[in-house]
């Protein structure tokens, strides 16, 4: 008995010692890794206090709300380059158009967008390393999807009314006909259903559990990436395993996609790649682009999740910003509605009709100019020591970005009212010149970097813009839209992102007792 008690006590003490030792080793490893990443310090003006504690206070502030720290730096240094301490290194911020153009023209060997994206998304842990090492889906989006917009848009237009029937049900209207829904949540599900009509087709795009899983995956990736990024490289696989985002979501979605993929793969094996009746959607294009071990239901499902993440996360935020802007500014409803109705009378419910709506295009661009997706853009990892055109010397390993707000609110580009919302700012010149595309929503420039700028600009922006504008046109044609009296949505910044107010309730009221031919 005595021996058992002593053994039990020693065993308990040993376990406590082992746990304490392990935690200590992890903390020491963590601190050493963080310090190592900070050794190569650029010789640039810095935001925040110097010293070990001061820089980490700024780093935590930057991790929580990039925009406030960036505005602080811009107020001090204007268009001069400056640096901000991060938890695992240094972020170099550029604000001038000259620096935008230098990043645009730089090679991947000097400024790597791929490595920077991998760091931001922690993609090897959140969406799968093969998505990063073999991003063939980007080529599909640039070629098949963009070039076949005229082919896929009819299906997209057909899906929009179906999405609204289930997500904004007439049975929920009040005595005055208004239906109240959670704005951001509803937009995410509309985008998910409409996008997946093009990605996987019907009936899977109507499956509520499938839609729930892919929208949850989009949320999980950003949360997991933020958590994993805080840890040094040695600990990241452990943290990713604990979170389990990628594998768990892949398993869940595979239950819905496995049979579809097995059927399509079997048809190709039996009849060839161009068999009669083959679905024309993104899933088929991905199958065509894969061979060998990559052409398995699991790998293709993971690729589908990666595409959905990129599409849902950015498109939902962007469209919600636009709908909130419209609900907050009712004076724009009539001219936008008249433009849409005239376009539909002339051209029908088609992509050409939607593309002809210059006021709507301008309203989108102005909303994203002032809000957009985040405080920084065109993020790159510097692969070797480099002196930039403004004389800034930056050592290899640093991350560089463009301060979006500085470019989008530049009075030199946008005039004295650069900080004010002017919904038709971009259509005044283009209305007089049909061949001038410089003011269009999808057109990038050093002064409009919402989609990035240059060869790494968002490859899916043409599809995303067409989808968002089609949904917007359907809403403004078929519904009145507003917020509750006196409500103003908050501008929420978390990390680098500008997130729509998730508490905001949008009110919709159908304008017709029966749906018009739209």
Annotated binding site for heme: 458
Residue for token digits 């001090």?
Answer: 76
ω into 203 cis (within 30 of 0): yes
Distance CA 58, CA 100 (A): 25
CA dihedral 461, 467, 471, 474 (to 10 degrees): 120
Q: Is 240 exposed, middle or buried (0-12, 13-18, 19+ CB in 10 A)?
A: buried
Distances (CA, A) of 423 to 29, 297, 365, 366, 428: 52, 45, 8, 6, 10
Tokens of 25: 């080793």
Reference 363, options 404, 405, 332; nearest CA is 332
What is the CB-side half-sphere exposure of residue 152 using CA atoms within 13 A?
25
Binding-site residue positions: 458
Contact 479, 509 (CB under 8 A): yes
Cβ proximity of 179 and 508 under 8 Å: yes
Alpha helices in 377-500 (DSSP H): 404-408, 411-414, 427-430, 461-478
For residues 455 and 104, what is the distance between their CA atoms, to the nearest angstrom?
7
How far apart, in whole angstroms, are the C-alpha atoms of residue 104 and residue 81?
Answer: 16
121 CB-contact burial (10 Å; exposed 0-12 / middle 13-18 / buried 19+): buried
Q: Which long-range contacts (CB under 8 A, 24 or more apart) does 259-262 make?
A: 260/200, 260/204, 261/287, 261/297, 261/300, 261/301, 262/297
Sheet with 505-510, strands from edge to edge, namely 178-182, 505-510, 479-482
Is 128 strand, coil or helix?
helix
How far is Cα of residue 214 from the mean position of the Cα atoms in its chain?
Answer: 14
Q: How far is CA 104 from CA 94, 107, 437, 453, 512, in A?
A: 12, 9, 20, 6, 48
Helix (H, G, I), strand (E, B) or coil at 85: strand
């Amino acid at each position: 008995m005595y021996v058992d008690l002593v053994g039990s006590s020693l065993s308990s003490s040993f376990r406590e010692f082992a746990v304490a030792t392990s935690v200590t080793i992890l903390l020491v490893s963590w601190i050493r890794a963080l310090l190592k990443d900070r050794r190569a310090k650029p010789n640039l003006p810095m935001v925040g206090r110097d010293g070990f504690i001061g820089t980490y206070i700024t780093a935590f502030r930057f991790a929580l709300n990039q925009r406030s720290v960036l505005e602080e730096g811009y107020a001090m240094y204007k268009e001069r380059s400056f640096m901000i301490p991060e938890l695992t290194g240094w972020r170099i911020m550029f604000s001038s158009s000259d620096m935008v153009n230098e990043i645009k023209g730089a090679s991947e060997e000097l400024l790597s967008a791929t490595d920077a994206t991998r760091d931001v998304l922690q993609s090897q842990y959140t969406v799968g390393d093969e998505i990063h090492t073999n991003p063939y889906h980007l080529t599909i989006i640039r070629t098949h999807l963009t070039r076949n917009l005229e082919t896929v848009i009819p299906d997209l237009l057909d899906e929009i009314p179906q999405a609204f029937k289930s997500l904004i049900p007439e049975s929920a209207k009040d005595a005055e006909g208004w239906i109240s829904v959670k704005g951001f949540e509803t937009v995410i599900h509309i985008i998910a259903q409409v996008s997946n009509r093009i990605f996987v087709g019907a009936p899977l795009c109507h499956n509520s559990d499938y839609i729930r899983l892919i929208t949850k995956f989009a949320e999980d990736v950003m949360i997991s990436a933020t958590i994993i990024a805080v840890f040094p490289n040695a600990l990241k696989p452990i943290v990713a395993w604990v979170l389990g985002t990628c594998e768990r979501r892949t398993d869940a979605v595979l239950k819905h996609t496995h049979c579809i993929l097995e059927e399509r793969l079997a048809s190709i094996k039996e009849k060839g790649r161009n068999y009669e009746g083959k679905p024309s959607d993104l899933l088929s294009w991905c199958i065509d682009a894969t061979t060998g071990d990559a052409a398995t239901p699991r790998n293709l499902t993971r690729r589908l999740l990666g595409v959905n993440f990129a599409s849902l996360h950015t498109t939902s935020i962007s469209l919600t910003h636009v709908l909130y802007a419209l609900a907050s500014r009712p004076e724009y409803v009539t001219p936008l509605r008249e433009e849409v109705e005239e376009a539909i009378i002339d051209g029908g419910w088609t992509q050409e009709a939607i593309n002809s709506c210059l006021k709507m295009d301008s309203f989108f661009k102005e909303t994203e100019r002032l809000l957009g997706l985040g405080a920084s853009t065109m993020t790159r990892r510097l692969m070797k020591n480099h002196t930039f055109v403004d004389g800034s010397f930056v050592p290899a390993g640093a991350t560089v970005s463009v301060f979006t707000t500085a470019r989008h609110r530049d009075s030199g580009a946008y005039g004295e009212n650069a900080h004010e919302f002017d919904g038709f700012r971009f259509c005044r010149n283009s209305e007089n010149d049909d061949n001038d595309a410089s003011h269009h929503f999808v057109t990038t420039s050093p002064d409009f970097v919402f989609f990035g700028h240059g060869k790494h600009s968002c490859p899916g922006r043409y599809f995303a813009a067409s989808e968002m504008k089609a949904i917007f046109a359907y809403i403004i044609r078929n519904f009145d839209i507003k917020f509750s009296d006196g409500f103003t949505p908050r501008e929420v910044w978390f990390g680098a992102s500008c997130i729509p107010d998730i508490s905001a309730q949008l009110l919709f009221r159908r304008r017709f007792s029966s749906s018009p031919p739209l």
